[in-house]
């Protein structure tokens, strides 16, 4: 099966994950794709194919003769799509010999604009796949799955005909593990990956954008919740008594630096991101995510939030607490709950330089520049790295994820297939 047909088949499955669900996978639709993939891995000739009770799909391409002592490596992609936008019944638009200009999304009347996505200019002349504007496409991360499966299929075919065809100038490979996970989009993709079964020394998630990217820096991340306890009284008798929780919440929000939000930062710059605000006179809540690539700045950001809570308790007569003390309810007007989410994988990857060198060499060998842009988010690879599996992230050739402007090219996916094969067969 060619990669376009394979990709279109995968995106036909609705696999939106659900953060409110406690099951694994979080939605039953993901299991339908998992079953299909397990059957496909068996059909193309992988061994030790397994679909486990949590919806994880595993497979192994055994080492070729002469390479059985090589370091076992792995490739990982996720099956779910983001709950940020509908993924039900996507209708891909396929545009051959794309002209590099704006693309009307015919199902919604929206337009995929070069002004918003300048990388579209790079894709001129390729076969572009977009949505029709009514759903996301699912390239995140079904492009990654299609690339891994296609690469494995082509390596198996090369193994079968090694004497007559060679390995496209590549000399065999060691053990190559693959795994397709559920629920990455809701932060759980790595949680139940069985590293006792998936016996790679290091691996690559295939879940990025530009096909030549090898990402190994991500944010340090935490969530922060301010809970404000006000005091309600009839507004006609409120002077000196009322503590309006919603107004206090608004004042706290304005106390954070306006130039340190997602909309005003880039690259390695961190931020505070207000994700939700709720409240009335007596109770209010502010929910933030806190991000920074640098560990010291990350800790400073959290300490700054603690100082804000302390200052507002002093201002409104709440019970104070110190920065080193657990935040507690008691008589506090403002409570702050900080919860660690994930850490920057850089500190792990730095100790395994081979994983980056191998990827960079493979990318450059297919004639494109290797880049290493910092991930302004988290990846399953970050969690896996701290679980003992160093795991940087490779690009898929897709862009505009999590919404109606998602797009990918056939040529980009084909390039990633070649990169995966080169990584797999590196000496």
Question: Which are the catalytic amino acids?
Answer: 80, 184
In degrees, rounded to 5, the angle at the alpha carbon of residue 375 between the alpha carbons of residues 211 and 7 is 40
Residue 417 buriedness (CB in 10 A; 0-12 / 13-18 / 19+):
buried
Structure tokens at 29: 């639709």
Termini Cα distance of the chain? 28
Residues 291 and 344 sit within 8 Å (Cβ to Cβ): no
Residues 397 and 405 sit within 8 Å (Cβ to Cβ): no
Torsion of CA 207, 208, 214, 216, to 10 degrees: -80
**Given CA atoms 387, 217, 260, 136 in this order, what sign does their dihedral have?**
negative
Measured CA to CA, the distance from residue 271 to residue 219 in angstroms comes to 10
In degrees, rounded to 5, the angle at the alpha carbon of residue 353 between the alpha carbons of residues 349 and 354 is 120
């Amino acid at each position: 099966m060619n990669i376009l047909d394979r990709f279109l088949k995968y995106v036909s499955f609705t696999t939106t994950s659900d953060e409110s669900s406690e099951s694994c996978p979080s939605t039953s639709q993901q299991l339908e794709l998992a079953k299909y993939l397990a059957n496909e891995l068996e059909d193309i000739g992988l061994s030790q194919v397994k679909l486990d009770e949590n919806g994880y799909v595993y497979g192994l391409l055994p080492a070729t003769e002469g390479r059985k002592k090589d370091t076992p490596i792995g490739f990982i992609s996720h099956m779910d799509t983001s709950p940020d936008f509908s993924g039900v019944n996507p209708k891909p638009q396929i545009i051959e010999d794309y002209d590099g200009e704006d693309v009307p999304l015919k199902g919604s009347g929206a337009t995929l604009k070069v002004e918003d996505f300048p990388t579209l200019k790079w894709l001129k002349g390729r076969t572009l796949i977009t949505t029709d504007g009514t759903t996301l496409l699912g390239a995140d991360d079904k492009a990654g799955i299609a690339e891994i499966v296609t690469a494995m299929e082509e390596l198996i075919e090369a193994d079968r005909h090694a004497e007559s065809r060679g390995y496209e100038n590549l000399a065999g490979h060691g053990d190559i593990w693959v795994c397709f996970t559920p629920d990455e989009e809701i932060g759980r993709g790595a949680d139940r990956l069985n590293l006792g079964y998936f016996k790679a020394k290091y691996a690559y998630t295939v879940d990025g954008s530009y096909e030549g990217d090898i990402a190994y820096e991500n944010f340090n991340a935490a969530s922060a919740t301010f809970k404000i306890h006000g005091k309600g009284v009839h507004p006609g008798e409120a002077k000196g008594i009322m503590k309006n929780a919603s107004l206090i919440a608004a004042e706290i929000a304005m106390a954070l630096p306006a130039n340190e939000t997602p909309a005003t930062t880039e690259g390695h710059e961190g931020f505070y991101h207000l994700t939700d605000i709720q409240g009335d006179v007596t109770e209010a809540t502010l929910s933030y995510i806190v991000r920074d690539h640098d560990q010291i700045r990350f800790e400073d950001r959290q300490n700054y939030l603690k100082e804000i809570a302390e200052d507002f308790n002093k201002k409104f007569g709440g019970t104070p607490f110190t920065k080193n003390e657990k935040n507690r309810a008691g008589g506090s007007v403002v409570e702050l709950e900080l919860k660690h989410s994930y850490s920057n994988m850089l500190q792990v990857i730095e100790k395994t330089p081979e994983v980056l060198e191998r990827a960079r060499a493979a990318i450059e060998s297919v004639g494109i520049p290797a880049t290493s842009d910092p991930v302004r988010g988290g990846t399953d690879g970050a969690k896996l790295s701290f679980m003992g599996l160093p795991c940087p992230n490779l690009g898929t050739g897709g862009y505009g994820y999590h919404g109606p402007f998602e797009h990918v090219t056939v040529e980009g996916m084909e390039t990633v297939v070649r990169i995966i094969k080169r990584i797999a067969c590196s000496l």
